[in-house]
Amino acid sequence: MQQPPYNQQQSWQNPGSYPQPPTPVPPQPPRLYPHWLLVVLSILYILFWVLCFIGEATSPNQPFTFVFNLGISLFFGILVCVFIMDWRGAVTVQGMIHWQKRGILARIILGYLCLVVSPFLMAVYLIRTFGLYRNVPRLSVPAQHTSPRRLGKPLIGFAGGSVAALVSLIVLSMGVVGAGNTSFTPNPTPTSGQVALIISPAATHIPTPVPTPQPTIAPTHAPVQSQPPQPTPPSCQAIYGNPWCYNFVPGNLIYSPPSGFCTYFTCIPTFVEPDDPGDGYIVQCGDGLFSQSGGERGACSYHKGVMRPLYSH
């Protein structure tokens, strides 16, 4: 007697029952990272934060600025290595971000936010990758579900990350050196005397009048000459050693000063005008300069006004 097939024989022996098909083994995600590379990336990520904190805390010093740049370079190297090894997982943070469900504007905003917080998202990515690989046994996956393993990809990712870190460090160091060369040297703090000279412009333009020493005539026994005797100049208290006995004691106003007046007195730049001699007399302005505009409108208008007139005797 011919035996029925297995399926028919089992249905005949158990009417109303059907054979259960073998349970399929679900496909497991491929292990893109070797264990050593994932551990190295995690250690370098922690070192990146340590170097950044040290460099930021001591930023005024040049060596520690290099330490900060070294930390930033390590992060760029980790980023390049992750994108070479698992760019899909890096973009989606191992399935946490679903780009297909977002609109164009939402993608742009979300991409900008991910770029800003990328140092923190890297920690989330590494933690999720460790958790994902922990649930994937290395040898329990059937051969038909395993993806082909690319033996050279970990080395390519590690080498690409190392090159990116080195290039970033060189570029950042060149920027620090250029900024140091263009830094300006701070000016020394002026003393109180220099501050007074800077604040007071009149003090920088007023020459100090130097009195002309008068020669002392020593009595001699020369014979009496036939020349007429010289008149004895009147005794007076002349200021600044002027030979005309001009002072501030009330007397006669001076409307026509002599030609050498500004040799003994500090005059304003516009002391001599085309209409001189005019109806103005000599006065001293509030800043100490002398003007020929006494009694006129706007006298000493740019020199703190009229302080007092000068008199002759």
pLDDT for 143 equals 38
Same domain, 173 and 33: yes
pLDDT band, residue 145 (cuts 50/70/90): very low
212-265: per-residue pLDDT in tens?
767 666 666 555 555 655 655 556 788 998 999 999 999 999 999 998 899 999
**Angle in degrees, CA 222, 226, 227, rounded to 5:** 95
148-179: per-residue pLDDT in tens?
444 467 888 889 889 998 998 898 888 766 66
State the sign of the Cα–Cα–Cα–Cα dihedral 53, 58, 63, 65: positive
Please report whether residue 228 resides in a domain. no
pLDDT > 70 in the chain, percent: 62
Same domain, 105 and 242: no
pLDDT for 221 equals 58
Please report whether residue 14 resides in a domain. no
Please report whether residue 263 resides in a domain. yes
Same domain, 247 and 177: no
Burial class of residue 100 (count of CB atoms within 10 Å of its CB; 0-12, 13-18, 19+): exposed
DSSP per residue over 142-194, as a string?
-GGGPPPP-TTHHHHHHHHHHHHHHHHHHHHHHHHHHHHHTPPPPPPPP-HHH
pLDDT surpassing 60 at residue 185: no
Please report whether residue 99 resides in a domain. yes
Please report whether residue 130 resides in a domain. yes
Same domain, 245 and 127: no
33-56: per-residue pLDDT in tens?
788 888 999 999 999 999 888 887
Domain range for residue 305? Answer: 238-313
Please report whether residue 306 resides in a domain. yes
pTM of the model: 0.43
